[in-house]
Amino acid sequence: MRVKHRVQSRFLRESREQRPWATSHFSATVFVLAAVVSGCATDRQAVSQDDATAIRAVLSQVIDSYNAQDLEGLAGAYSEDAWHMSIRRPMVKGRENIAAFYGPAMPTFRMESAREELDLEIHGDAAVMIQASTLTGFPRDKPESGPVFEEKRLSTIVFRKMDGRWYIHRYMDSTNPAITGSDGNPGAPE
């Protein structure tokens, strides 16, 4: 990193010598970025409870639709051009492909999801949520036999508001290192 820093410093020094406005231009850029960031902080403080409730309802819609084997309802929680990136599975793009991703498992498993919202930021028609969750799958044919799998996850979810409704736009899961076994696989903490 020091080499990169020296290169940037040399560039700035040469810029000042060759273009006296470079320093003021740089200062103006920093000022504009600071104004944008402070504007975002203001937006975040003014989070609408209605928007936050609607966003959380979208996540419930996914699990509820899955358990009702309602593929259309599940896919309807995602924007048309959504991306879904799940643990140990390929990335899926587009509402139709996300439906195809979930479809085969619907008749086999019923899901339960315990979620803990770690952060929610809403900026106009975009929102970002970080959550810790445990997704547990139960066999539909023998629910009394107990869970077939349990995955502990950290998720980053980007939502978009379109035509007054919130949709999942980007969804990315990763294993939760705080609750991952020593072998690196999701499981009970040691």
Enter the tokens of residue 169.
């736009």
Secondary structure class of 149 (helix, strand, coil): strand
Sole residue written with tokens 């991306």: 83
Question: Nearest CA to 85 among 93, 97, 77, 73?
Answer: 93
Q: What is the pLDDT of residue 62?
A: 95
Q: Which residues of the chain have pLDDT under 50?
A: 1-45, 180-182, 186-190
Q: What is the pLDDT of residue 46?
A: 53
Angle at the Cα of 62 from the Cα atoms of 57 and 65, rounded to 5 degrees: 110
Q: What is the pLDDT of residue 17?
A: 45
pLDDT in tens, 85-105: 988 789 999 999 999 999 999
Q: What is the pLDDT of residue 178?
A: 63
The Cα-based distances of 78 to 36, 63, 112, 149, 165 in angstroms read 28, 13, 19, 25, 11
Q: What's the mean pLDDT when you consider all of the chain? A: 77
Q: What is the pLDDT of residue 21?
A: 36
Q: What is the pTM of this model?
A: 0.69
